[in-house]
Amino acid sequence: MRITLIGYGKMGKEIEKIALERGHTISGKIGLENFDDLESCLANSDVAIEFTQPESAVKNIYKCFSYNTPVVVGTTGWSNQEKEVFEKCEAENQTLFYASNFSVGVNIFFEINKQLATLMNDFEDYEVAIEEIHHIHKKDAPSGTAISLAQVVLNQLKRKNQWKLDQTGSDLINISAKRIDEVPGTHTISYENEIDEISLTHKAKNRKGFALGAVLAAEYSQNKKGIYGMKDLLYL
């Protein structure tokens, strides 16, 4: 499979390593210095993997659509345009695989989060909060993973209506976001009352899990049409 990497930073290099180990070919490595090469790379690719910045993600997705190239998107922070992108994908019969987090472990964590939130709906004296910690280079806050975790909780806890960054309230889920050194990613969900505290934590040790998930998503997306996510890949 021929893969164009849109974004060739630390994550792009890790994806390249795993893709080559799995027998794929890298047909393009696109960064700021050679962005003009994107079109020629897409013309000779079976799939693209996009890990860039929130302000450029949608433009990159649309460029992939214009070349009928399935695109796997790991960039977060563009949720305000998500509806528009999904509608365009379906209207033009394109292929988009999007996930806030490509780690297999995190997506198992999502499912445990759902089950715990369902149980905690009956125990209203427990206050829920989410904390996420990432490296200092991550621009969006809270992380897409933290937002995904919060949205699952909102669907299960009738007493909560929305999440807010660094705000508390009887109907709010407080998300705190920290940027520390080169931390790959840590997410904790806690339920606490005056008696005890229940916490779930996922801690990434490196970028390998995210990169492997992105390559698996690319393999899954080839020769498909539509919008997919990690639940489709992992049959969760």
pLDDT tens digits along 66-123: 999 999 999 988 989 999 999 999 999 999 999 988 999 999 999 999 999 999 999 9
Task: Tell me which residues of the chain have a pLDDT lower than 70.
Answer: 236
Q: How far apart are the first and last CA of the chain?
A: 26
> Would you state the pLDDT for residue 1?
96
Domain 104-203 fold? Dihydrodipicolinate Reductase; domain 2 (3.30.360)
> Would you state the pLDDT for residue 51?
95
> Would you state the pLDDT for residue 139?
81
Q: Which two tokens stand for residue 177?
A: 């976001």
Q: What is the 3-state secondary structure (H, E, C) of 126-163?
A: CEEEEEEEECCCCCCCCCHHHHHHHHHHHHHCCCCCEE
Q: What are the extents of the domains in the chain?
A: 2-102+208-234, 104-203
> Would you state the pLDDT for residue 23?
97
The domain 2-102+208-234 having CATH identifier 3.40.50.1100: the answer here is no
> Would you state the pLDDT for residue 80?
92
**Alpha-carbon gap, residue 5 to 74, rounded angstroms:** 11
**Active centre residues (catalytic):** 134, 138
**Alpha-carbon gap, residue 153 to 59, rounded angstroms:** 31
The pTM (predicted TM-score) of the whole model is 0.80
